């Protein structure tokens, strides 16, 4: 059943909203009249808020910390009274290299970046969703759970898949649906805030090209997707069109199942 007013008056929290897929979700949801709460640790999120043409609540927060996630949930509830939808979009590979080339602190940084924001934000919004006996959570995962040169990132996204399945089992009784979109390689404008501020060496560029080549090779369509293709899947799972779907990881990688 199609719902032309899928998000009208729905309160949607979007993390990592300053650029890329998060920005795409924010703009598309605004066009469907969602009441948005946009979060990012970059002040660029204010520019996205202006792009929406709406008046979203904007929260600058470090979601790698519990304090940041708790503050985000509190601000959303204070401003909007409830949280109907949470889109967990923070994450992304910082380094590209064979596993044995990662330093221990780099491994920990990758896990903090790509797993903890989703863990913390799910925990932060759950009390309000349980009280409302309703809610939808969409976690952004990755088909890179099977891939080369980013093993810590793969492990973090595997953790998100496990979190998605288990949280869905635990809270279906509370009317809360939890799903994930496993994004494939996605064409996007150059990042305004790079994940790794250090310029890559020639070797690191070669390793990253290895990721690109593997991503295209394992996609049946042999191409990268677009931000719009990822956004469409995320908003479908966030909407009542997916009312009988929970605990599911939907690969959006041109046939790469992750």
> Which residues span the domain enclosing 126?
11-252
Number of domains present in the structure of the chain: 1
Is residue 2 a part of any domain in this protein?
no
Q: What is the model's pLDDT at position 191?
A: 72
Task: For residue 38, give the 3-state DSSP assignment.
Answer: strand
Is residue 4 a part of any domain in this protein?
no
pTM score, whole prediction: 0.95
Q: How far apart are CA 252 and CA 258, in angstroms?
A: 9
Is residue 1 a part of any domain in this protein?
no
Is residue 217 a part of any domain in this protein?
yes
The CATH number assigned to the domain holding 214 equals 3.40.50.720
Q: What is the pLDDT along the chain (258 residues), one digit of tens a residue?
A: 556 689 999 999 999 999 999 999 999 999 999 999 999 999 999 999 999 999 999 999 999 999 999 999 999 999 999 999 999 999 999 999 999 999 999 999 999 999 999 999 999 999 999 999 999 999 999 999 999 999 999 999 999 999 999 999 999 999 999 999 999 999 988 877 777 778 888 998 999 999 999 999 999 999 999 999 999 999 999 999 999 999 999 999 999 998
Q: How far apart are CA 200 and CA 242, in angstroms?
A: 41
Is residue 190 a part of any domain in this protein?
yes
- 254 secondary structure, DSSP code: T
Tell me which residue of 104, 210, 185 sits closest to 112, measured CA to CA. 104
- Which one from 99, 102, 149, 153 is the annotated catalytic residue? 153
Task: For residue 219, give the 3-state DSSP assignment.
Answer: coil
Decide if 208 is catalytic: no
Looking at the chain, which runs of residues are DSSP E strands?
11-15, 35-40, 57-60, 85-88, 135-142, 176-183, 186-187, 225-226, 249-252
Burial letters for 3-26: b for 16+ Cβ neighbours within 10 Å, e otherwise? eeebbeebbbbbbbbbbbbbbbbb
């Amino acid at each position: 059943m199609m719902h032309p007013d899928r998000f009208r008056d729905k309160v949607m929290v979007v993390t990592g909203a300053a650029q890329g897929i998060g920005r795409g979700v924010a703009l598309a949801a605004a066009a469907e009249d969602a009441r948005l709460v946009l979060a990012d640790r970059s002040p660029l999120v204010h520019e996205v808020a202006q792009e929406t043409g709406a008046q979203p609540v904007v929260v600058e927060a470090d979601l790698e910390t519990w304090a940041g996630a708790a503050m985000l949930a509190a601000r959303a509830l204070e401003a909007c009274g409830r949280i109907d939808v949470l889109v967990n979009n923070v994450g992304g590979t910082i380094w590209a290299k064979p596993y044995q080339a990662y330093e221990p602190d780099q491994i920990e940084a990758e896990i903090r970046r790509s797993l903890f924001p989703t863990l913390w934000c799910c925990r932060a919004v759950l009390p309000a969703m349980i009280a409302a006996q309703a809610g939808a959570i969409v976690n952004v995962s990755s088909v890179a759970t099977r891939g080369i040169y980013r093993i810590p990132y793969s492990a973090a996204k595997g953790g998100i898949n496990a979190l998605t399945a288990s949280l869905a089992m635990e809270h279906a009784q509370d009317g809360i649906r939890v799903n994930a979109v496993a994004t494939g390689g996605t064409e996007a404008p150059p990042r305004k805030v790079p994940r790794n501020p250090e310029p890559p060496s020639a070797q690191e560029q070669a390793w990253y090209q290895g990721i690109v080549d593997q991503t295209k090779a394992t996609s049946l369509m042999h191409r990268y997707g677009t931000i719009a293709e990822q956004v469409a899947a995320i908003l479908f799972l966030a909407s009542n069109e997916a009312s009988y779907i929970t605990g599911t990881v939907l690969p959006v990688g041109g046939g790469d199942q992750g």
